[in-house]
Amino acid sequence: MKIGVWRDCMDWKKAFQLGFLVWLLPFAFSFLFYDSHAKLTIDGVVFKNIMFSFLIIVTTIATPYLFKGAHGDLSKVGVNAGMLWVAISIVFDLLFLVGFFGMSLYRYFTEIGLGYICLFAIPAAAGMVAQTHRNARK
């Protein structure tokens, strides 16, 4: 498959901007649950559940904007964006959580990083459904 097919199937700038928002909004939201001494103010398990629920909500809201005006195979758009959004979130998390806040890589990937599977699954599934619907209308 030619690289151009993957490159031209979506607006990469819009996909990057949406992916950055999908990372930034939960990151900013998480500060509501810490005190001025960087201590979590609620139970850790409750915090993780709130954060991943918020991440899923933000991703679900962002996904339709990804497909607005998209051309070509929408399943490719969803898969490409899903991979991009996972990469964006992991890179920015590594910069801030591991680099700045000193979280270990093991702790990061076991507590947070694996949860980013939903960042791939939501736009990828939406793209497959949208493409199937588009094909059925032809």
What are the pLDDT digits (tens) for 80-116?
999 999 999 999 999 998 988 888 999 999 888 888 8
The H or E element containing residue 106 is: helix 105-111
- By CB atoms closer than 10 A (0-12, 13-18, 19+), residue 126 is buried
Q: Where are the domains of the chain?
A: 19-137
Q: Are 22 and 55 in contact (CB under 8 A)?
A: yes
Of residues 137 and 120, the one with the higher pLDDT is 120
Residue range 1-24, pLDDT digits in tens: 444 445 567 788 999 999 999 999
Taking alpha carbons only, the member of 121, 124, 97, 118 closest to residue 53 is 118
What gap in Å lies between CA 25 and CA 11, rounded to an integer?
21
Q: pTM of the entire structure?
A: 0.88
Taking alpha carbons only, the member of 83, 81, 96 closest to residue 17 is 81
Structure tokens at 8: 């031209």
